[in-house]
Chains A and B, each alone.
Chain A
Amino acid sequence: MTADGGPELVQLLTPEGERVHHPDYDVDLTPDELRGLYRDLVLVRRVDAEATALQRQGELGLWAQLLGQEAAQVGSGRALRPTDMAFPTYREHGVAWTRDVDPLQLLGLFRGVTNGGWDPHEHNFALYTIVIGDQCLHAVGYAMGVQRDGTDDAVIVYFGDGATSQGDVNESFVFASVYNAPVVFFCQNNQWAISEPLERQTRIPLYKRAHGFGFPGVRVDGNDVLAVLAVTKAALQNAREGNGPTLIEAFTYRMGAHTTSDDPTRYRVAADLEAWKLKDPIERLKVYLARNGHADHAFFDAVEAESEALAVRLREGCRSMPDPAPDSLFDHVYAEPHPLVDEEREQFVRYHASFAGGEH
């Protein structure tokens, strides 16, 4: 396996910011749309940086960083239509951004005020899934529902290179294949599953796995927002037209730690990081925009100012986020009355009320 993704890598924008052409994939974006993608990338990176800082300050219990994966997430997220459904892992903060989920709602999960946070139906963005790979089956089931509804919506599901070893992910490939489900499997190969390198998950390039399941696989430069957008749009269109699933392997790199609890210096070398820094997803788009006159200083300054304002809003919003009411832990466990839960809630409330002044 080559460290640069090999000749199969679909690329439309080189790390140096040069627009290149590919025989199968292309995008035709207006300058406005290109600037929009740049803004997305910058703001998503800022959300990630602020959340990491908030964890260091004790405001979040944990944060799963996406640094380096902004283009893979924004490019694929922006390929979706509003009515398409997306199933994330716990690191898809950039996809959440494209689905109009307020980043504060993501912080709520990592702060520990909720196990969910947003309305999956309002955003067509499922809740984060922490058990590795489980969501791939959910996506296929949802896509089977779409088939039965008879709409031309499509479904996308995110997972990592480590997840490709999971049984559920492989079962989801089988189900999607035999039912020809309108789903796109979007694997962000960030080269690391916590401390385990790709070599511990596979002996062949991940996108090639698809062929064994009977559907196409494609490897895209995950740090190239234009290529990711093009490849994902094509795969979604394929699904809409009844041609079944596609596996996209977005070849990228986890520039940060697995989570704020991780210490990558124990298992990987700094030279790798330096090499991948040169392939930064934001820098190459900035160069492209500036060089082609699609954006000027005023634009870049405005995005920077917006990023600052977003950071302030996140810091303040996170710190002022109230803890849930203690007895809310009994809420929504069941849809219909359940005598045990009702009884335990009563006991819980009575116990708390037994303290002087009803203080908890």
Chain B
Amino acid sequence: MAVTTMAKALNAGLRKALERDEKVLLMGEDIGKLGGVFRVTDGLQKDFGEARVIDSPLAESGIMGTAVGLAMAGYRPVVEIQFDGFVYPAFDQIVSQIAKHRARSGGRTPMPVTIRLPFGGGIGAVEHHSESPEAYFAHTAGLRVVSPSNPMDAYVMIQQAIACDDPVVILEPKRRYWDKADVDESVDIASAPSPFTARVVRPGTTATVACYGPMVRTCLEAALAGEADGLDLEVIDLRSVSPLDIPTVAASVRKTGRLVVVHEASVFLGVGAELAARITEECFYSLEAPVLRVGGYHTPYPPSRLEEEYLPDLDRVLDAVDRALAY
């Protein structure tokens, strides 16, 4: 057990995966000598060689398309897209090829491709470096989409994603890369909870707040601040946005009667919209208020001087909770 950052926890998880299975390969821009722009792959090329930790040409579709071929050849490619906003050139290969290949091959050709995507805002970056594209991927059958919120989950979930025979998009909350917490490297990933399940990270009774990735810390801080106002919020870290762990959220809402969903992505047709529909179906008679959403607006991600206005924060979360309680 050691205190470490999420970036280092991901590095340790990648190292474990490379050690465990010689078919695991890492590929991406600047991931070799440089160790990635966020240093998540720091030192891995030195230890595992250029054939397994591959600096790629600067072409995202090329990275994704060659990952398809490597998977067909029996490898387990783990590809890094340097920033969320650069994934779109690879969108066709992800949606048309990676997501569908297993189904169209009648289950004969699995696509164990892990797509690492540093995502989300809050780091004062220039345009195209702060986006939350999860709904695009969650909308696509054949893909799984997860997002760790803390170093320990990051360490385990990256290994579980790589071990999974389905393609997994792992959204790494880049503004939490430097958050520190205890990481137990002795944990056995096979006996750890499935990455496709949610976790109640703070039990409570007043209302349920569901979130994932970078928003988990924000929501936990909101819950702490809410205590002073007599609020006892239950916070759920969804961890996976595809599949969504509906039973865990439904069980919570049956208890609290209220649900607020929080994400950085714009709310229109987002994860919150899906949860609102599903929870209304599952928990209609338990709900004391409509499901409310807190998220980005239907605008392009703003220049960084405005991003704090765009991103959900503690106050906006508590405002939504207040509105839910006012029904």
Question: Chain A residues in contact with chain B, CB under 8 A?
Answer: 85, 114-116, 119-121, 126-127, 129, 131, 134, 136-149, 167-168, 171-172, 174-175, 178, 331-336, 338-341
Contact = CB atoms under 8 A, between A and B. Distances in A.
B73 to A, nearest CB: 3
Interface stretch (B91-99, B127-135, B313-321): B91-99
Interface in B21-68: 25, 51, 56-57, 59, 61-62, 64-68
B59 A333 contact: no
A141 B164 CA distance: 20
B102 interface: yes
14 contacts: A115-B100, A116-B104, A120-B108, A139-B69, A140-B65, A140-B69, A141-B67, A141-B69, A142-B73, A144-B66, A145-B70, A168-B93, A174-B59, A340-B242
B108 A121 contact: yes
B230 interface: no
Interface residues of B, number: 47
Given A334-B166, A335-B166, A141 B70 contact: yes
Contact of B97 (A116, A134, A171, A175): A134
B75 interface: yes
B200 interface: no
B203 interface: no
B166 A175 contact: no
Contacts of A140: 65-66, 69
Contacts of A139: 69
Interface-central residue, B69, B70, B89, B243, by most chain A CB under 10 Å: B69
Nearest to A129: B97
B225 interface: no
Nearest to B55: A178
A116 B89 CA distance: 25
A269 B22 CA distance: 57
Interface of B: 25, 51, 56-57, 59, 61-62, 64-75, 77, 89, 92-93, 96-97, 100-110, 141-142, 144, 164-166, 242-246
A134 B75 contact: no
Contacts of B71: 141
Contact of B59 (A142, A175, A335): A175
Contacts, number: 139
B103 A331 contact: yes
Contacts of B96: 131, 134
Contact of B61 (A148, A167, A336): A167
A137 B109 contact: no
A145 to B, nearest CB: 3
A339 B106 contact: no
B57 A335 contact: no
Given A121-B109, A138-B97, A145 B69 contact: yes
B72 A171 contact: no
B62 A171 contact: yes
Q: Which residue, of B73, B92, B101, B108, has the highest number of chain A Cβ atoms within 10 A? A: B73
Nearest to A178: B57
A175 B73 CA distance: 17
A334 B142 contact: yes
A172 B109 contact: no
Given A141-B69, A175-B59, A131 B166 contact: no
Contact of A168 (B61, B100, B246): B61
A281 to B, nearest CB: 30
B140 to A, nearest CB: 11
Given A137-B65, A138-B68, A172-B65, 14 more contacts: A119-B105, A120-B72, A121-B109, A126-B72, A127-B105, A134-B65, A140-B65, A145-B70, A145-B75, A175-B56, A178-B57, A331-B107, A336-B164, A340-B243
